[in-house]
Amino acid sequence: MGQINLDIVTPERRVFQGQVDMIIAPGSEGFLGILPSHTPLITSLRIGIARIKNNDEQIKVAIGGGFMEVQPDKIIILANTAELGNEIDISRARAAKERAEERIATFENGGVASTEFDLLRARTSLQRALTRLKAADDDGTWRPGEKGLEE
Amino acid sequence: MEGLREIKRRIRSIHSTQQITRAMNMVAAAKLRKTQHLVTAIEPYVSNIEELIGDITKANGNLGHQFFRQKSEPGRSGIIVITGDRGLTGGHNSNIIKKALEGGDSPVFLCVGRKGRDYFVKRGYDVRAEYIGLPDEPGIRQAKEISENAIELFEGGDISELYVAYTEFITTVERKPHLLRILPIDKNIFMKNGKAGSLFLYEPGVEGVLNKLLPHYVEIQIYRGLVESKVSEFAARMMAMDTATDNADEMIEKLTLDFNRARQAEITQEISEIVGGAEALK
């Protein structure tokens, strides 16, 4: 089976470029698996994990929403943010997750000066943090002996 | 001629100013080096998103999205002016303010940076929003906030056109102020770029995609303005402080010359006084 050229770019950098067998992307209407010679397609992406399959390898990419343009010979993903699984700073993602959870909790307890909008924002950052943890193969629960996570 | 002590005091004062300008020059140079990559990093993203919009407009002849639509009666324009928070950047801030003022009659301003805010508020212009304290490396998040406010004004009919006034970073010594229209979006430019004939599937529908894509495009244009302006600001400060340091050198040199001359004159005078005194005693 052939391969297709994949390009993942964010405003800050090019995250991935190369030939791949397949990509499974988090489309706004559900996950989409794209193989070479796919019908031209344009879709928005939601926050979630994209899986790139290449030979027997799988690379996970945490996508923070964006767009995907599929053409028979190439796929372009324009992501607001994108990080390869092995680049993700787990402790930072955890801190972000805890911060977001805290903010949601204060809101639900009728906390100070929070608006609907802030809640929405906190929920989005929670989602993003969880996605990043998942892409880094970390389920967010505390495990003793942190080092084991990186292997 | 000034007294010796006075000249010495001035040399010392210029010297300490020079130390400050030299430090500022080095700080600006370091920040420039650190942020410069952002200007080039955004290019592939911009060309890809423009290609994407091009493909969509080309494949769907009559798109009636309101971001494409020219308002039937021209109203006020909204201008996002991107200046720095601080001065000592040569003409950086005043050049961009001058550029922004070209943007039509009684515009609405959204000011990024303290310098621009102060200028427009002091002169009684209609300033609807201000964003002070932009970080050295602007992120999409800041651009998003600004674009949401601007789009609100556009959709609410307060403004019929949206511009961004920013400084393009070409090289360290070459920077150019621009006044770029970002709304309504000129569909014709994209029509030319799009590849013809590709029929796309859309999820969730053409309208659904455009409703997300076009605001994001506005956001990206603002983000690019922020990044270009910030990097330009560092370059401008670096150059201005470099010149200031050189000028200080020149002044110190001249004053040192004056100082030596004055000292010599004093010695000559003393000698002639002594000689004169000795003569008188004979």
pLDDT digits (tens, 9 = 90+) for A71-91: 888 899 999 888 887 777 777
Q: Please choose, from the candidates B101, B99, B45, B109, the residue with its C-alpha nearest in 3D space to the C-alpha of residue B232.
A: B99
pLDDT score recorded for residue A138: 54
Per CB-CB distance under 8 Å, the chain A contacts of B51 are: 69, 76
Query: Taking residues A89-94, what's their average pLDDT?
Result: 80
Q: pLDDT tier at A148 (50, 70, 90 boundaries)?
A: very low
Which residue of A12, A13, A40 is in closest CB contact with B199?
A40
Across A33-37, B110-114, B167-171, B190-194, least confident range: B190-194
* B49 at A interface, C-beta within 8 A: yes
Interface test with A, best of B149, B190, B203, B217 (most A CBs within 10 A): B203
Q: Looking at residues B206-234, what average pLDDT do you find?
A: 90
Q: For chain A, list residues whose CB is within 8 angstroms of any CB belonging to chain B.
A: 7, 9-14, 27-29, 32, 39-44, 67, 69, 71, 76, 78, 80-81
Q: What is the pLDDT of residue A147?
A: 40
Gap from B211 CA to chain A (nearest CA, Å)? 10
Confidence category of residue B211, pLDDT binned at 50, 70, 90: confident
Q: Say how far apart CA B282 and CA B274 lie, in whole Å.
A: 13
Which stretch of A131-140, B121-130, B135-144, B196-205 has the lowest confidence by average pLDDT?
Answer: A131-140
* pLDDT reading at A52 higher than 70: yes
The mean pLDDT of B213-218, rounded to a whole number, is 90
Does A142 score more than 60 pLDDT? no
Q: Give CA–CA dist A80/A77, Å, rounded.
A: 10
SS (H, E, C) chain B: CCCHHHHHHHHHHHHHHHHHHHHHHHHHHHHHHHHHHHHHHCHHHHHHHHHHHHHHHHHCCCCCCCCCCCCCCCCCEEEEEECCCCCCCCCHHHHHHHHHCCCCCCCEEEEECHHHHHHHHHCCCEEEEEECCCCCCCCHHHHHHHHHHHHHHHHCCCCCEEEEEEEEECCCCCEEEEEEEEECCCHHHHHHHCCCCCCCEEECHHHHHHHHHHHHHHHHHHHHHHHHHHHHHHHHHHHHHHHHHHHHHHHHHHHHHHHHHHHHHHHHHHHHHHHHHHHHHC
Find the CB nearest B202 among A7, A42, A80. A42
Min Cα–Cα distance to chain A from B72, Å: 31
Residue among B139, B140, B201 minimizing CB distance to A41 = B201
pLDDT at site A115 = 66
The Cβ-side half-sphere exposure at B204, using a 13 Å CA radius, reads 11
CB pairs under 8 A between A and B: 75
Q: Indicate whether A151 pLDDT > 60.
A: no
Mean pLDDT across B156-171: 89
- Evaluate if residue A141 carries a pLDDT over 50: no
Collect all residues of chain B within an 8 Å Cβ-Cβ radius of residue A74.
none
Q: Is the ipTM of this complex over 0.85?
A: no
pTM of the model: 0.84
Mean pLDDT to the nearest integer, A16-33: 89
